[in-house]
Amino acid sequence: MAYVLWTFASLIAYVAGLVLLMKVTPMLLSRAYDEGLFMAIAAGDIFGGIFVFAAVAVTFGLFGGNLGIRILDFFLLIGILIVCIRLSYISFRRYRAKINSLSRIIAGTYCLLLALAALYYIILLFT
């Protein structure tokens, strides 16, 4: 019973992390990278990344890598991959007057690195 509760808690953290990533990352684009508010928003973005990958780690660790959990983790990682590629594309694509180019590059690179980490763990999941 405790494993089921941990699984539901990790799935809630996964959804909260994805929502945090989708809401916070576009806010980074209008700030200069040396502002204090940029650092606070970036910390929220980092917490979103931690939440989404923690859900994968908790479910994999609790159930010892059973086939069903590997399939669940695969779909969770595919969700991370899709969201992070989309956010990276949006960050690199925007060209407006209020967008700082260095902040755009930092946010896009962070999302691209999250996507690469998800891709790496997808490959690692089945080897």
Q: Is pLDDT above 90 for 12?
A: yes
The whole domain housing 114 covers 2-125
Q: What is the domain count for the chain?
A: 1
Amino acid 94: pLDDT: 65
| Range 122-126, long-range pairs (CB < 8 A, 24+ positions) | 122/74, 122/77, 122/78, 122/81, 125/70, 125/73, 125/74, 125/77, 126/70, 126/74
Query: In the prediction, which pLDDT does 76 show?
Result: 95
pLDDT tens for 93-122 read 866 656 778 888 888 999 999 999 999 999
Averaged confidence pLDDT in the chain? 90
